Structure 1
Amino acid sequence: MTVETNLQDNLDNQTAPFLQEAESTFQWTKQWYPVAVAEFLDSSRPHAIQLLGKDLVLWQDNSGQWHCFEDFCPHRLAPLSEGRIESDGTLLCAYHAWRFDRLGNCVNIPQSKDKETEARNCANQKSRAVVYPTQKLQDLIWVWAESGTEAEVESQLRQPRTVSELDDPSSRIVKPFWNIRDLPYGWDFFMENVADPAHVPVSHHGIMGSRYEDTKYYDMPRLREMSTQEGFAFEVTPTASNIKQTIHDFQPPCHMRIVTSFEDGGQLILVLYAIPTRPGWCRHIGRQILIKSDAGKTPPGLGFFALPMPKWLNHILASLFLHQDLIFLHYQEKIIAKRGKNKWLGEVYTPNPQDKAVIAFRQWLAKRAGGGVPWDAGCNLQLLNKETDSEKLFDVWTTHTKDCQVCQDALKNINRLTVLSYAGAIACLFLALFLDGRYVAMQALTEPASISMWNTLPPLGFGVAIAGAIILAITGYLLKKLSQLFYVYKFSHADNN
């Protein structure tokens, strides 16, 4: 028997308690899911989203409340996300102008014969939109994954997986902003990835360590026993000399909380949500929280992402980090899918203790949560085809920018500055030519006999204008390159030296 086999057997024995069947199976649809960051949405229009394979629409009424309906009009099943939010706070289907209030009631059918007929048809239950319980907490819009009267009651009995530190007014707590991105791999592969600290210095080489120097041995003892509803927690040990403890805490259905406590009393908390949108895709919403030490020192954050910067810049620079994992997880999911559904534990080889939390997650999914996400019946389950077009795989526009009002506004401003920079460069160039030509002409008129190479050199204004043209042209070029990050950011580990 090999050493590797012994390690695998020992690991299996340590995680054996997780294999026991739970008394109940995790209920995916009776949960709150954060589906959007309210601050980043354009509140003047409806927004199409997906959850568990269902097509939904988010919209805000004129009182500032967000609502979620299934994304179809009961009349002819046209998408309500292509509709309009009217001044009276109703959602209008832009196909035939049926209107719906915040409760899903149809309040206007303009093609009706008369008001009595309209009132009768609006009162019919078939005219109602399908409404999902919705609430806004910590600037996230949360949606309960079932609709109906019973769902409304059940949703009030369970609290979303919010973060207590975000409600704490203490000056010791630094709260950088949310980030959001749709990713071309499944919810389970996102959770598996963030349960695995061993990949960080390798996959994120240059940002979070070195693949050559920081791939060290450590163990992951279990801190909290597995629970169907509450998940599990593991500790990383040993840690760096300045770190007291690091914990990976999985809280179903969609929250991974990673807490690094430093010896001086400071903490770094990574708040990571992953929402199962449709097969082969998930929506990531995350942020970091920095808790100052007892002496008031701010701890190091996640790479350079904790540095002060505009929200839009943080959003587009997130591609530097997210795309380093994306390339692995997208293809990994396809490989597992080809080998058969729910075969993860039997297909992989995990001899080291660094994989304990990953194994625990896969066991929770297999034994406590029905083996996977129960997608909506009409959802396309095809996962085998991997994306080979890098423009689509590393797409930023569709997966973030088009739905982020902050980035949309920043992109418009950058495009305006780009045009102004190029226009300014052209203006400076013409000014330089004018000054040079005027100077030479004046020299020829005033001192024709004394013209030489030395006294016909361009005046100082010519040099300033040329320098200005060069600087503005370079600025325009750099702004154009920056704007491209709002659309596509390609990444190759082979080129990441």
Structure 2
Amino acid sequence: MTSQTNLPGEVRDVTPQFTESEKETFQWTLQWYPVAVVDFLDPSRPHAIQLLGKELVLWRDGSRQWRCFEDFCPHRLAPLSEGRVESDGTLLCAYHGWRFNSEGNCVSIPQSKDKQAEALHCSNRRSCAVAYPTQERQGLLWVWAEAGDSAHIESQLRQPQIIPELESNSDRVVQLFWNIRDLPYGWDFFMENVADPAHVPVSHHGIMGSRYQDDQYYDMIRVREMSTQSGFSFEVVPAGSKLSQKIHDFQPPSLMRVVSTYKDGGQLILALYASPTRPGWCRHIGTQVLVKNEAGKKPEGVGFFALPMPNWLGHVLASLFLHQDTVFLHRQEKILARQGRDKWLDAVYTPNPQDKMTIAFRQWLEKRAGGGIPWAGESSSDLPPIEQQDKQKLFDVWTTHTQQCRVCQDALKNINRLAMVARVAAIACLCLGVIMDSRTVAMKAVVTGSTSLLTAPPTQFWWAIGGAVLFAMLGYLLKKLKRLFYVYEFEHAQND
């Protein structure tokens, strides 16, 4: 039987008993993981990524298909992500010029004695790069987390966790922008966080409600039983004054799907993906999907993020939301590691039903998924990386997003150009105003013979000075906006 009791005492166990079919263990490598938004990738160069502790490289071949290799050249183990995508659609290792086709086969070894020797070397399996299956679905690039001869066949037997509503081609379905960010806390803490609606009005005070008014009691009722491969889901009861239903649906390994159904029939769907990259880090990719009701009315989205805006602006403004709980999630992971507890439930106190789904997630991880992620190679340390005390590094945006996002890099270049134009225009207006004032004084001196400096400036002077002030203000605002591409610092003590 499943325990749904929250009083008296503590909510500790919300998992059903195992059935024979559920004694299997979740296989972390035999899964599709979303690793990038295709439109945000620069196809002219390779991109280094991490997945399950593996160092990988993404690149687009001559057929315009994105490929994924392990990030090393078989020759001398130089990183292929530091190489080049050549005009013939091959990936070139920039160390010695070896080239690889889309399947990972080596097609060129320039230092070979002759063409015959080159062909012989290239035909050796040891010359091949290690290739992983990939596919593009719904604007995302997905990578199968295992290579090898059987990986292609196995990957065809499982579908990625797409958003069914986006397959319908209905004019009632509106997708907002994709956002992507590398986050300085583990995959499990990301999933724990998005399984916890109770933190939203408190942590995200000012964007998603009020910490003083919206932190209300509710229960969480399981509506889909726990499955090793398919996860589980819980319903929030009551859903809220505007909603008829709200369900959090965990679909391992990457998706938390949050569906809010409004009383008028509209729906807000949050597709919150997270892929485990390395210990203490995960890559989050998310979007909002708005489903209009029968009358064609579009439902509310998440705060101001539902307003029409270009992708780059949505990306930089996402920091206002994401950074509100970044420090919590980063540090609670390190606190748990320092305590050395074998079980998560032994380290926390969970007396209220709002934690039921979080508890269920931890129990799925422990009982169905081997207790945690099987990191590859040297990344298999039991402890996450050292706690980061410098909050500014936790709030870094450049290395966790901007430098990997073609859309934001292009926007930043345009903002820099506009800022330069604003500065030049401000100086030009100021100089023009001075010239106009000087001419007025000179002309009056010629006409009246007076050289008094108390002559009132002409109207054109004030227009020029006003223009200088406006352009200077524009330059200042652009400078503030530019900073969001690099870092956004947040303190709850200052969020009134």
Residues 195 and 388 from structure 1, CA distance in 2 versus in 1: closer, same or farther, beyond 3 angstroms?
same
The aligned residue for residue 475 of structure 1 is 474
Per-residue deviation at 1:377? Answer: 2.1
Cα RMSD, aligned residues only: 1.5
SS in 1 for 2:8: helix
The aligned residue for residue 104 of structure 1 is 104
How many Å separate the matches in 1 of 2:410 and 2:347?
46
Q: How does 1:22-33 map to 2 (within 5 A)?
A: 22-33=22-33
Contact 2:12 2:350 in 1 (8 A): no
The aligned residue for residue 412 of structure 1 is 413
The aligned residue for residue 428 of structure 2 is 427
Per-residue deviation at 1:449? Answer: 5.0
Residues 251 and 342 from structure 1, CA distance in 2 versus in 1: closer, same or farther, beyond 3 angstroms?
farther
Query: Deviations along 1:31-87, whole A, 9 cap, x unmatched?
Result: 000000000000100000000000000000121100000000000000000000000
The aligned residue for residue 400 of structure 2 is 399
How many Å separate the matches in 1 of 2:225 and 2:367?
14
Per-residue deviation at 1:457? Answer: 0.7
Please tell me the residue identity of whatever aligns with 2:83.
G
Query: Deviations along 1:334-369, whole A, 9 cap, x unmatched?
Result: 001112264211110001000000000000000000
The aligned residue for residue 17 of structure 1 is 16
Contact 2:186 2:282 in 1 (8 A): yes
Please tell me the residue identity of whatever aligns with 1:487.
Y
Per-residue deviation at 1:241? Answer: 2.7
The aligned residue for residue 257 of structure 2 is 257
Q: How does 1:36-435 map to 2 (within 5 A)?
A: 36-340=36-340, 342-379=342-379, 381=381, 382-383=383-384, 385-435=386-436
How many Å separate the matches in 1 of 2:326 and 2:380?
21
Contact 1:18 1:364 in 2 (8 A): no
Please tell me the residue identity of whatever aligns with 1:130.
V
Query: Deviations along 1:379-417, whole A, 9 cap, x unmatched?
Result: 163425211112211000000000000000000000111
SS in 2 for 1:7: coil
Please tell me the residue identity of whatever aligns with 1:494.
A
How many Å separate the matches in 2 of 1:83 and 1:392?
28
The aligned residue for residue 444 of structure 1 is 445
How many Å separate the matches in 1 of 2:56 and 2:305?
32
Contact 1:443 1:451 in 2 (8 A): no
How many Å separate the matches in 2 of 1:133 and 1:449?
85
Residues 400 and 289 from structure 1, CA distance in 2 versus in 1: closer, same or farther, beyond 3 angstroms?
same
Query: Deviations along 1:399-450, whole A, 9 cap, x unmatched?
Result: 0000000000000000111111011101111111111111101110111159
Contact 1:257 1:270 in 2 (8 A): yes
Contact 2:444 2:450 in 1 (8 A): no
Contact 1:269 1:290 in 2 (8 A): yes
The aligned residue for residue 487 of structure 1 is 486
Residues 221 and 457 from structure 1, CA distance in 2 versus in 1: closer, same or farther, beyond 3 angstroms?
same
How many Å separate the matches in 2 of 1:16 and 1:107?
53
How many Å separate the matches in 2 of 1:101 and 1:193?
41
Please tell me the residue identity of whatever aligns with 1:475.
L
Contact 2:180 2:285 in 1 (8 A): yes
SS in 2 for 1:295: coil
Residues 182 and 450 from structure 1, CA distance in 2 versus in 1: closer, same or farther, beyond 3 angstroms?
closer
Please tell me the residue identity of whatever aligns with 1:257.
R
Residues 7 and 391 from structure 1, CA distance in 2 versus in 1: closer, same or farther, beyond 3 angstroms?
same
Residues 449 and 118 from structure 1, CA distance in 2 versus in 1: closer, same or farther, beyond 3 angstroms?
closer
Residues 449 and 283 from structure 1, CA distance in 2 versus in 1: closer, same or farther, beyond 3 angstroms?
closer
Query: Deviations along 1:111-169, whole A, 9 cap, x unmatched?
Result: 11100000000001100000000111111000000001111110000000011111221
How many Å separate the matches in 2 of 1:202 and 1:99?
53
Residues 443 and 34 from structure 1, CA distance in 2 versus in 1: closer, same or farther, beyond 3 angstroms?
same
Residues 311 and 12 from structure 1, CA distance in 2 versus in 1: closer, same or farther, beyond 3 angstroms?
same
Per-residue deviation at 1:460? Answer: 1.0
Per-residue deviation at 1:239? Answer: 2.1
SS in 2 for 1:149: coil
Residues 367 and 20 from structure 1, CA distance in 2 versus in 1: closer, same or farther, beyond 3 angstroms?
farther
Query: Deviations along 1:309-350, whole A, 9 cap, x unmatched?
Result: 111000000000000111100000000111226421111000
SS in 1 for 2:481: helix
Contact 2:6 2:352 in 1 (8 A): no
How many Å separate the matches in 1 of 2:295 and 2:242?
15
Residues 468 and 112 from structure 1, CA distance in 2 versus in 1: closer, same or farther, beyond 3 angstroms?
same
SS in 1 for 2:210: coil
Please tell me the residue identity of whatever aligns with 1:54.
K
How many Å separate the matches in 2 of 1:264 and 1:397?
41
- Calculate percent identity across the aligned residue pairs: 66
How many Å separate the matches in 1 of 2:6 and 2:240?
29
Per-residue deviation at 1:233? Answer: 0.5
In structure 1, stretches of 5+ residues that fail to align are none
Residues 449 and 207 from structure 1, CA distance in 2 versus in 1: closer, same or farther, beyond 3 angstroms?
closer
Per-residue deviation at 1:7? Answer: 3.4
TM-score (norm 2): 0.96
User: Relative to structure 2, which stretch is displaced further, 243-252 or 18-27?
Assistant: 18-27
